[in-house]
Chains A and B, each alone.
Chain A
Amino acid sequence: MTRFALRYLLRRLVVAYATLLVVMTLLFVLLRAMPGSFVSAMTTPGMTTAQTARLEAAWGVHDPLWMQYLRFLLNYQTGNFGWSPTMHAPVAAVLARRLPRTLVLFGAAFLACYAVGPLVGMVLGWYRDARGGTLALALSLFVYATPVFWVAWLLVWLLDHRLGWLPSAHMVTQFPAFDVAPLPVALDFLRHLALPLLSVAAVGWVGATLLVRPAMRDAARSDYVDLARAKGLRERTVLFKHAGRNALLPVTTSAALALAFLVDGAVVTETVFSWPGMGRLIVTAVLDRDYPLAQAAFFLVAVVVVVARLGLDVAYTYLDPRLSFGGRER
């Protein structure tokens, strides 16, 4: 058993590593495929030819392509991401500052979505054939269909402009009037976290709902639910404790897909709320033509996704004994 588990783990590791190699190659190709050499993004019209030539030599633009590719692969695998021309700082330092902020926002959003979504899904699946069932499903699907940034604007309008309850930009107050002590700073941070969190969660919960709802239908038809009813348990107990728990399985196995949703959400939400995280960094770096930074930021997001997928995959095989190690069929 353990031998199979080890082999499975090794296989997953190889696939994860191959994924990162492909992402690196993709980034390298994309960088070379754009019009002009990528040094041209860093030059200004005032530069002399000698300065431009020195810049090109420093970035190794004239080396053969295979040499550039190997150097790129080597640098990335040793954690050498280069220098950001717009931030005037090492790329690795910029990323190390940005990544935790994104993880905090989207960790919280993930928890919020998965606290609300499955509960709604259980109720919707249970009362599937009731009069309001279709209406409730239609409404949740409509919510799921709204663009996240638009919902964010509406929430900002309501909670910031109209009611003035929550701040709608940045991660902390820029020039605070309060003392910089741990507690006020933490409260200030939480107040700034509330609106972005609310916008992501306002749309994101439906994903889990849609997964639980069909599973709930199967659970509602099962014998153990009949048994629980026959024992005289309350309807609510049967719904949440007996049927609901079993309907949760598809949610846990598809958390990896939810991860992708959150990465996409990060790009948009961080742009709306000026949240200084990774998603916004990618967009601004691409638009400012800061290619070393954009490349590395993209790569880091891919690393996070790949590592999380690997972790989840391995965790499932331990959590659910029905998924056999080794030759697992999906």
Chain B
Amino acid sequence: MTDRAPNDGSRASNDAAGAAPAPATRASSRTRRALTRLLRTPLALLGTAVLAVVTCCALAPDLVAPHDPGWVAYVGTGDGRLTLAQSRSLPHPPAFGDPFFAPLGTTAAGHGVLTELVYGARTALLVGLAAALLSSLVGVPLGLASGYYGGWVDEGIQRVVDVLYGVPFLPFVVVLVAMRGASTTNVVLAIAATAWLNNCVVVRGTTLSLVERTYVDAARAAGLPTHRLVARHVLPDVLPVAAVLLVQDAATAILAHATLAYLGLADVTTASWGAMLQRVQATGHVFDAPWWLLPPGLAIASLVAAFYYLGHALSDVTEVD
């Protein structure tokens, strides 16, 4: 029963492609076929599920979180003050009922760990997607140009890439962020500034192999203008590669952001999982508050792994390695 639906879907799209072999239909049916195959891979399902949960948290944290970000254990959201005994009991392990309710315990400042976790989802998702999109927007066109035109364009772009590959990533980001200030925007820019290199090299390789195909030669001989040739005959086969790269970039960006936060180089005023871990360390509770240490790390790992899973499933489906 569960197996039938995707089978029918793919057969229907095959029929559609056979009936009308126009390029647009062919491309869309291929996408649909890839999507149905994607939804049958367990890794892709797992990744999508995690991503859906994180997206919900990022879009409406106030609906998911048990408290608002200003909530403090014992005194709630009012401006009451903690007694000495109460503040000594912080960070507090998970508590249900009196004197307060905090499903994953509290931080040293009395905020709920689960609440901070939910509110940190937005930063993680934003950093991942923004850095990935930026590095794709730079890397993919440059890789396309490099592979398609060849000659001095290729030589120029590849020399720049070669030179930048020699610059170590994390030390570079550390210096950049330390000098330009540790705002989330700067962190994203710094990550994207180095992440596009890989996209450029991989897309160039794919383009090189595509340009030698007969149908590209035929299109060129038919007098198709360059921009249309690239858009209709090269780009559609580059896009699967670019999609895999995009997903992997998102994963590395989230990890890099967490690492920078640990080093004290991310914005600690916005809620983020990396900043949570940094606070665990700054307050000296790494080894005595597991309820506070474990959730942010697991959250980072789950989201990054979700992107890796999607990337792997995508490359399996589109037969990119």
Residues on A facing B (Cβ under 8 Å)? 15-16, 18-20, 22-23, 26-27, 30, 33-34, 134, 137-138, 141-142, 144-150, 153-154, 156-157, 161, 214, 260, 263-264, 267-268, 271, 279, 282-283, 286-287, 294, 297-298, 301-302, 305-306, 309, 329-330
Contacts and interface: CB of A to CB of B under 8 A. Distances in A.
Contacts of B178: 286-287
B163 interface: yes
Nearest to A267: B170
B309 A141 contact: yes
B308 A141 contact: yes
Nearest to B170: A264
B51 to A, nearest CB: 13
Interface stretch (B2-10, B78-86, B255-263): B255-263
Contact of A26 (B167, B262, B321): B167
Contact of B163 (A18, A27, A148, A260): A18
Nearest to A261: B169
Interface string B158-194: 0100111111111110111011100000000000000
B297 A264 contact: no
A157 B171 contact: no
B237 to A, nearest CB: 19
A260 B205 CA distance: 21
B166 A302 contact: yes
A20 B305 contact: no
Given A134-B43, A267-B170, A287-B178, 20 more contacts: A18-B159, A19-B162, A19-B165, A23-B167, A30-B179, A141-B308, A142-B305, A145-B304, A146-B304, A147-B277, A147-B297, A153-B293, A156-B286, A264-B169, A271-B262, A283-B263, A286-B178, A298-B168, A302-B168, A305-B167
Majority secondary structure of chain B interface residues (helix, strand, loop or mixed): helix
B312 interface: yes
Contacts, number: 136
A137 B301 contact: no
Majority secondary structure of chain A interface residues (helix, strand, loop or mixed): helix
B174 A145 contact: no
A64 to B, nearest CB: 22
A147 B262 contact: yes
A308 to B, nearest CB: 10
Contacts of A305: 166-168
A253 to B, nearest CB: 13
16 contacts: A18-B159, A19-B163, A19-B165, A23-B166, A23-B167, A34-B179, A138-B305, A138-B309, A149-B277, A150-B277, A150-B293, A150-B296, A150-B297, A156-B286, A286-B174, A298-B175
B134 interface: no
Contact of A271 (B165, B171, B263): B263
Contacts of A146: 297, 300-301, 304
B287 A161 contact: yes
B255 A147 contact: yes
Those 7 A-B pairs whose CB atoms lie nearest each other, nearest first = A145-B304, A19-B166, A145-B305, A150-B297, A264-B170, A146-B301, A34-B179
Contacts of A279: 171
A91 to B, nearest CB: 16
Contact of A15 (B162, B176, B259): B162
A286 to B, nearest CB: 4
Contact of A147 (B165, B208, B258): B258
Interface in B276-321: 277, 286-287, 293, 296-297, 300-305, 308-309, 312, 321
A138 B165 contact: no
A160 to B, nearest CB: 9
B171 A298 contact: yes
B46 interface: yes
A287 B179 contact: no
Contacts of A267: 170-171, 174, 263
A214 B168 contact: no
A304 B47 CA distance: 37
Contacts of B167: 19, 22-23, 26, 302, 305
B18 interface: no
Nearest to A303: B166
Contacts of B76: none
Contacts of B164: 22
B263 A15 contact: no
Contacts of A268: 170, 259, 262-263
A269 to B, nearest CB: 11
A16 B178 CA distance: 27
B43 A287 contact: no
A271 B264 CA distance: 11
A309 B166 contact: yes
Nearest to A135: B42
B168 A263 contact: yes
Contact of A137 (B43, B175, B251): B43
B174 A15 contact: no
A301 B251 contact: no
Nearest to B263: A283
Contacts of A15: 159, 162-163
A306 B168 CA distance: 9
A22 B163 contact: yes
A33 B312 contact: no
Contact of A287 (B42, B264, B301, B309): B264
B261 to A, nearest CB: 9
Nearest to B308: A141
Contacts of A134: 42-43
A111 to B, nearest CB: 20
B170 A294 contact: no
Contact of A149 (B169, B171, B262, B287): B262
A264 B168 contact: yes
A306 B166 contact: yes
Contacts of B42: 134
B301 A20 contact: no
